[in-house]
Amino acid sequence: MDPDRDRDHGMKHQADSASDADVPTTSSPSPRIQDADSRPQLVSEKKKDLPAEPSPSSPLSNRTSASLSTTRAEEPAQVEAQPPFTIYSQTTKRLIVLFASLSAFFSPLTAQIYLPALPTLSHDFSVSSAEINLTVTTYMIFQGITPTIIGSLADSAGRRPAYIICFVIYIAANIGLALSPNYASLLAIRCLQSAGSSTTVALCQAVVADIITSAERGEYIGITAIPTVLAPSLGPVLGGVIVQFLGWRWIFWVLAIAAVVNLAVLVLWFPETCRVIVGNGSLEEERERGKVRAVHKTLWRLGREGLVRRRKRLERENRSLEAGQVGVARTESIVSRPEGVKSKIKGPNLLASLALLFEKELGVLLFYSGIVFAGFYATATAMPSQFTELYGLTDLQVGLMYLPMAGGSIIAALVVGPLMNKNYVRHANKLGMPVDKTREMDLSKFPIERARLELGLPLLVLTTCVTICWGWAVEYRAHLAVPCVLLFLQGLGIVGFINTVNALIVDIHPGKAGSAVAANNLTRCLLGAAASAAIVPMIDAWGAGGAFTFLGGLFVVFGPSMWLVMHYGIKWRGEYRDKEARKEEKKREKEMASE
């Protein structure tokens, strides 16, 4: 489905809604900025048969009605007065999220597909295993740092520019790696490759925040997690096949080719979704903000607009030709061409993501989810050595052992999301709040922390138990089926819990989704890198059982922090809003004083 067609349809729908509601255009130029005094005019047709109501034609009567009428029957009508959260259809939203998820697949895939080539690279470049492993460490460091910069850019300048920058860097880096002549160039360009791919995960979550309301966000957050959890399972297998049959350089050629195809689809079809730039995606809100540039428009849309302008110009010239005024017509076509009012796009705040780490509620969520995700990295890192040494599996068999974890992760992504949506609706119904999936609800007094974490905490308990049991099962060389089942349950528990936290992070910071997810990515990468580096020495010192019992103990020790989020979340969000409001007020006062 064409996103531009949805934009045109949304424009027509808003116009039809305005005419049906009989709203005077002189008093309400935009439904979005309509005040409470004028909203009852939108429902006057429905209430005209009630004798107790004043005449709807009188503005004074409407204001009186707005102040006195508090019946439940008016709530749906007031919701109708608001514009939809996004003009895209359900099918188009799914396609947009699907493409964003496929784009996010490049970051974890690039990290994992490279691993089977490490011994070959060490031999070809005549360096030690420790030196070649630095290419993995530096990749993870840049994977955590880069999104804090690009994520802020995406929040201020738009998703499309950020995507284009990322994939151009990524494609160039892969070509450089495929042609790399020595170890030094490999190490340096590997950092550039990480910088290009790592932000796609944060951008994916930001796109979901742009077009999906909190009422249905759980389902879509689950979908976006699938590529992230599939890559650790499929990446090593795919990389091993490429290295064996084509050579290690073809890993980067394959990634470059796939990225070129992805970038072509992005430029041609993927729409700008950043609400700072396009609002809900309608032409009306685009013009109101005045921030849309050519880079924000799809190539398909630019082509259509160019054809429309050319057709109109030819029509003017033909009409003028009949009057013998071709030259005048051409001049008028240039002079009279409408130019939209452009407003300045703010530059990225490079410290925005780092500042969010110190925000009370988000900081607690990021720290604890990072610890849990570190357990995921620790297990994935320990599997090759444990299954090779204790069970005598080959490299291919070890790669296949990642599939149970991937299976559990996929089930978590498909099941936990809809359950989050149902729990959201349950809490809304409990509070008597109407739920409309096409419009965002005010969450300032809504217990969104409970709606998300009530599902996440049971999965956290499952994760803790399974992590400890997996370590002891491997240490005592239980039947191979036992660690396989435990890996399946661990994938189910960790990914299910992480998805609830991901949804909550976007819920509490919808306007800074790119920066918030980038901060999330930073903590997970840094803690994951630490866990990956420490788990093998821990196993050597304490055994697999002791090492993973220690990790499970960390889950338990810091687990009460999630109770604090559930209990104090609304209060903390209120304090953060007040703090931001004071900052904005001081900023306005400073700007007025400078003028």
For residue 389, give every residue at least 6 positions away whose Cβ sits within 8 Å of its Cβ, in sequence order, or none.
Answer: none
Q: What is the pLDDT of residue 586?
A: 82
User: Please, what sign has the CA dihedral across residues 309, 315, 316, 318?
Assistant: positive
Cβ burial, residue 443 (10 Å; 0-12/13-18/19+): middle
CA distance 274 to 277: 6
At 55, the amino acid letter reads S
Give, rounded to a whole angstrom, the gap between the first and last alpha carbons of the chain: 48
Q: What is the pLDDT of residue 322?
A: 66
Q: What is the pLDDT of residue 339?
A: 45
Q: For tokens 């809900």, name the residue.
A: 280
CA distance 426 to 428: 5
The model carries a pTM of: 0.71
CA distance 365 to 268: 37
CA distance 132 to 130: 6
In contact, 498 and 375? CB cutoff 8 Å: no
DSSP H helices, 246-298, are 249-268, 275-278, 283-289
In contact, 381 and 535? CB cutoff 8 Å: yes
- Tens place of pLDDT for every residue, the chain, 595 residues? 556 666 555 555 544 444 444 433 343 334 333 333 433 343 344 333 444 434 433 433 343 333 333 334 444 444 455 778 888 888 899 899 999 999 999 988 998 888 788 888 888 898 887 788 788 878 888 888 888 888 778 888 889 999 999 999 999 999 999 999 999 999 999 999 999 998 898 898 889 888 988 888 877 877 787 777 777 778 878 888 888 888 899 999 999 999 999 999 999 999 999 888 888 888 877 777 777 888 888 888 888 888 888 888 887 777 777 665 545 444 444 444 444 445 555 555 556 667 778 888 888 999 999 999 889 888 887 888 888 888 888 767 777 888 888 889 889 888 888 899 899 999 999 988 888 777 777 788 889 999 999 999 999 999 999 999 999 999 999 999 999 999 999 999 998 998 899 889 888 876 677 778 778 888 888 888 788 878 888 998 999 999 999 999 999 999 999 999 999 988 998 888 888 788 878 878 877 777 6
At 220, the amino acid letter reads Y
Q: Is 124 helix (H, G, I), strand (E, B) or coil?
A: helix
Q: What is the DSSP secondary-structure string of 339-391? A: -PPP-PPPPP-TTHHHHHTTSHHHHHHHHHHHHHHHHHHHHHHHHHHHHHHHH
| The pair of three-digit structure tokens given for residue 457, joined into one six-digit string | 């905490």
Q: What is the pLDDT of residue 345?
A: 54
Give how far Cα 414 sits from Cα of 42, 166, 217, 420, 454, Å: 40, 28, 13, 11, 18
Q: Nearest 5°: phi and psi at 338?
A: -70, 135
Question: CA triplet 549, 551, 553: central angle to 5 degrees?
Answer: 70
Q: What is the pLDDT of residue 23?
A: 39
Buried b (16+ CB within 10 A) or exposed e, 552-567: bebbeeebeebeebbe
In contact, 519 and 352? CB cutoff 8 Å: no
In contact, 467 and 500? CB cutoff 8 Å: no
CA distance 90 to 84: 13
CA distance 346 to 343: 9
Q: Count how many residues are written for the chain.
A: 595
CA distance 462 to 477: 22
Question: CA triplet 438, 202, 98: central angle to 5 degrees?
Answer: 55
DSSP run (H or E) holding 99: helix 90-104
Q: What is the pLDDT of residue 79?
A: 47
Give how far Cα 289 sits from Cα of 103, 158, 279, Å: 28, 13, 8
DSSP H helices, 125-198, are 129-157, 159-178, 183-197
**DSSP E strand stretches across 500-552:** none
For residue 395, give every residue at least 6 positions away whose Cβ sits within 8 Å of its Cβ, in sequence order, or none.
Answer: 116, 240, 388
In contact, 212 and 220? CB cutoff 8 Å: yes
User: Rg of the Cα trace of the chain?
Assistant: 27
CA distance 466 to 182: 43
In contact, 92 and 6? CB cutoff 8 Å: yes
Q: Is 281 helix (H, G, I), strand (E, B) or coil?
A: coil
Give how far Cα 92 sits from Cα of 52, 88, 271, 435, Å: 45, 6, 10, 21
| The pair of three-digit structure tokens given for residue 360, joined into one six-digit string | 């009370």
Q: Nearest Cα to 420, choosing from 376, 381, 459?
A: 459
